[in-house]
A and B are shown apart, each in its own frame.
Chain A
């Protein structure tokens, strides 16, 4: 059974494979960078030369290799002699963890609300749409700051809070596609066979809109990274002794004149990562789903 369907799938994607051979160079570079980041995040403990909180008081503010520094601390150290490379590796893991967690939360939340709106219509739909308008109308940074002011900060709360960013886009997409699938077509047909809503949405609608959702998640990912690093930079996100990319930049700002490397290393990682995800997202959108924007 599997071999035949595999052949069928291969036959369908055959014309695509030919185009995939000519992957644009920037996309290849972006994918390479993202693979490296994922590897760093997963293997952070193996890769970092020092514990990220370890002090080396004899080598405080030592510059990185290339600016007169030694290989012992390849990216230099900070005011307390903590190894910038080790801190960077730990920060990458933390920032990616937050970004993945928040993206997953906002996708699940948005899709659920979108499906609820599409399924119940009427008042439920109006309520969801009012929430969508509200969310779209408010700058999220301000809302996030307000919540942090009222509730204080902790890592799980922070991830959930960032997970509230951008759910309205998934909700719009899920509602729109579910409504059109439900009014005519496969979803209506399956419903007519007596399927429960769980089956209709879980087994049929969700897999059919998955590619659109994945593309939107890719496009939203850089936003979450920027938001996290922005809040952490302001000192309102990830709290010490934990560290994230934005956190490092915020700390390094104090040493802008004396030790710019503390700030430049995490800054370049943020920029390269968001740039890579954006490039891959744009490419995916053009390939998989030209209907988005």
Chain B
């Protein structure tokens, strides 16, 4: 095993709970935003994290970066434990990992010009001298497709795509090993989305940065990622190669997600999820997806399925039905029909 094959990042059984009170009479309820997520990311690779809003994918991203501390489980970055937030070691580590945000305008300080903000990580981490910073800033701006004179612009003077490029330039200033992109394109125009995705791919090819690409858009994730993990209510329910997951999703939830992608030439066959959107405060027993699952059987309401390789193709999937542990039912709460 060469050095490059060692995982850059390994997250083990991350759990993040929030206390939530409903109304003033309600007892504090525990919300498990993330409930036992494990991820591995290799250098130069991209892991896509897909799921609907509220499934815990952003919280996972923040824990991976060490911005938030998991209630249990842990993150190892380059074989070292993540230090506690705010400590000098943690602060030094910020130079090696960075974040790209959904809302680039909110992530930029609107009172400082772009050049100052791109130079800020260099100042914070004492990289280079004051004199050569303008040169570095110019190079960074060029590398993300901005003009050098954009350094003197203020965030509100740029377009959405340009702002996201500026955020990326700032993130890349310290030549990080890991980039967490949290919905980096969902606030952008459709016409701009492809440009930003191409830019991210190009940056990865040039710098070898590893990426955790978080999105609700399965197609964007497929285009960007070397592996894909599908999350539902705080858990990874399926993980595999992007093409495999997209062409032959194993988990019923992944199947529903894939079928929701508009596809020219395909008619019908779209799986419409029934039931309420998931509520992390009222997690159903057993498989969290079972109330909305068309294939749920009685076992699904009782026992939590484990994420493990499927016998047929080693695909990681957490589903009793897909694992062949139970025959597909006709969904609950309708009486389950046990077919032979």
> Which A residues form the contact surface with B (CB < 8 A)?
1, 4-5, 8, 12, 184-186, 188-196, 199, 204, 207-208
Looking at A184, A192, A199, A207, the one whose CB has the most chain B CB atoms below 10 A away is A192
Contact, CB under 8 Å: B113 / A5: yes
Minimal beta-carbon separation of B67 from chain A (angstroms): 6
23 contacts between A and B (CB under 8 A): A5-B154, A8-B153, A8-B154, A185-B103, A186-B107, A186-B110, A188-B67, A188-B107, A189-B107, A189-B108, A190-B120, A191-B67, A192-B67, A192-B99, A193-B94, A193-B120, A193-B121, A193-B170, A195-B120, A196-B91, A204-B109, A204-B112, A208-B109
- Number of A-B residue pairs with CB-CB distance less than 8 Å in the complex they form: 63
In which size bucket is the chain B interface? 20 to 34
Contact, CB under 8 Å: A192 / B120: no
> Which B residues form the contact surface with A (CB < 8 A)?
65, 67, 91-95, 98-99, 101, 103, 106-113, 120-121, 124-125, 149, 152-154, 156-157, 167, 170
Minimal beta-carbon separation of B340 from chain A (angstroms): 54
A194 touching B94 in the complex, CB below 8 Å, given contacts A4-B152, A5-B113: yes
The closest CB in chain A to the CB of B108 belongs to A186
Residues of A within 8 A of B120 (CB): 190, 193, 195
Minimal beta-carbon separation of B30 from chain A (angstroms): 19
Residues of B within 8 A of A191 (CB): 67
Contact, CB under 8 Å: A8 / B157: yes
Query: In the bound complex, what is the Cα–Cα distance between A191 and B121 (angstroms)?
Result: 10
Looking at A4, A5, A189, A195, the one whose CB has the most chain B CB atoms below 10 A away is A189
Contact, CB under 8 Å: A8 / B94: no
The closest CB in chain A to the CB of B111 belongs to A207
Contact, CB under 8 Å: B101 / A4: no
Contact, CB under 8 Å: B124 / A5: no
Contact, CB under 8 Å: B106 / A194: no
Query: In the bound complex, what is the Cα–Cα distance between A25 and B124 (angstroms)?
Result: 48
Beyond the given pairs A189-B99, A193-B120, A194-B94, 9 more chain A to chain B contacts, judged by CB atoms under 8 angstroms and listed by A's residue number, are: A8-B153, A185-B103, A185-B107, A186-B108, A186-B109, A189-B167, A192-B67, A192-B99, A204-B109
Contact, CB under 8 Å: A199 / B124: yes
A4 touching B107 in the complex, CB below 8 Å, given contacts A193-B121, A194-B95: no
Contact, CB under 8 Å: B110 / A194: no
The closest CB in chain B to the CB of A199 belongs to B124
Which of A12, A186, A195, A208 contacts B124, CB < 8 Å? A195
Residues of B within 8 A of A204 (CB): 109, 112
The closest CB in chain B to the CB of A119 belongs to B86
Residues of B within 8 A of A207 (CB): 111
Which of A12, A186, A196 contacts B106, CB < 8 Å? A186
Contact, CB under 8 Å: A193 / B98: yes
The closest CB in chain B to the CB of A185 belongs to B106
Query: In the bound complex, what is the Cα–Cα distance between A208 and B111 (angstroms)?
Result: 7
Residues of B within 8 A of A185 (CB): 103, 106-107
The closest CB in chain A to the CB of B97 belongs to A192
Query: In the bound complex, what is the Cα–Cα distance between A4 and B67 (angstroms)?
Result: 37
Residues of A within 8 A of B103 (CB): 184-185
Residues of B within 8 A of A208 (CB): 109-111
Minimal beta-carbon separation of B335 from chain A (angstroms): 46
Contact, CB under 8 Å: A184 / B106: yes
Query: In the bound complex, what is the Cα–Cα distance between A204 and B112 (angstroms)?
Result: 9
